Structure 1
């Protein structure tokens, strides 16, 4: 049993609904609210592991390096499916800094020199267990030592896109960038541009 303030939670059952790509669980629990009322509730939780994402910023050209790839959940929700995003990936047992360095190399071909941890966030806490670790790094064209494009064994087909930061901010307003983690990092960059070059 877990207590937070006057509320308590007790897990009664944790059932696996699917363990195909990731782990979909059905959680039954007793929830005693702050008024002392206890109810038995059921909620589904999608467990895909924790991840990391990073803002790659090139101060020489005041631009960010993003990736474009197809995301089927966005497609079935009425979007065209090809999202512009900051590089990201699951930790897969690595610490967040090592995981993001691996993902950046796979997706963009950039070798990171210096990585700065910014913050971490639950991205969709009503249904997904994932905690995402956010980073930033300064890069330039000489840091691109491989082609990138994603991992072939994961069937990734990733395009590397270099966009001026001002244009990227406008693309948020226009709806051309609509990925949550990317919006968070671009807004952080717009507020902290001076600290990125130090």
Structure 2
């Protein structure tokens, strides 16, 4: 036991070691132990479980999972002008792993916190892009972005915008240290930037390709 288990961690949380112990959806997996190995802003756990393999034999496995909560992302598209609205921001994990400057072009995104996915998508769009979405959002898909180690489930939306929907300059929440540039591009140019590697963020690539396929289907 320890911080985040029976003793509150830095964010006042307890019971972090109980996540996963009550899973019953897969009879071939029995959780034996959950250990909190890091209780920073997000949570790292080591879970030990028994798993029945496809040949019927049982094996004991241990896996680390990084729990940062679930998120929502939204690609804004102006069909009248053929443009999309993206963010550019510094991502140290990308920078330390070979990206030239760590500045990634991305669809607006954020953690759900206490909100439902659509509410979170609208919140992040207004905070990061300065756009208040007045119409409906289409949920394109949701996806586990790195299921080998990260628990996050990302809810992916596409929405329409126009210049009249801008309510401020965007840029993110300064109090949270966000320093975000708003970038408007023709959809065709954004797709070309996927091809040549200038757009390398996974969720953004998926949403751009989803939108391109939908546009092609409507034209056909």
What is the TM-score with the length of structure 1 in the denominator?
0.94
Which of 83, 90, 96 lines up with 2:104 in the alignment?
83
Query: 1:121-175 CA distances to partner (integer Å, 9 max, x unpaired)?
Result: 1111101101111111110111011111011121010000001000000100110
SS in 1 for 2:114: coil
SS in 1 for 2:28: strand
Runs of 4+ in structure 1 deviating by more than 3 angstroms, as ranges, are 1-4, 194-197
Do the aligned partners of 2:65 and 2:151 also contact (CA within 8 Å) in 1?
Answer: yes
CA–CA separation in structure 1 for the residues paired with 2:185 and 2:72? 21
CA–CA separation in structure 1 for the residues paired with 2:140 and 2:183? 23
Do the aligned partners of 1:2 and 1:8 also contact (CA within 8 Å) in 2?
Answer: no
Q: 1:194: how far off?
A: 6.3
CA–CA separation in structure 2 for the residues paired with 1:196 and 1:87? 25
Structure 1 unaligned residues grouped into runs of 5+: none
Which of 175, 185, 205 lines up with 1:153 in the alignment?
175
**In the comparison of the two structures, how many residue pairs are matched?**
195
Q: 1:17: how far off?
A: 1.1
| 2:191 aligned partner | 169
Matched, 1:105 2:112: no
| 2:201 aligned partner | 179
Structure 2 unaligned residues grouped into runs of 5+: 1-22
CA RMSD of aligned residues (A): 1.7
Report the structure, 1 or 2, having the larger strand content.
1
Q: 1:2: how far off?
A: 3.9
What is the TM-score with the length of structure 2 in the denominator?
0.85
- 1:12-161 → structure 2 map (5 Å cutoff): 12-79=32-99, 80-114=101-135, 115-161=137-183
Do the aligned partners of 1:16 and 1:24 also contact (CA within 8 Å) in 2?
Answer: yes
Q: 1:117: how far off?
A: 1.6
RCO higher in 1 or 2 (8 Å CA, sep ≥ 6)?
1
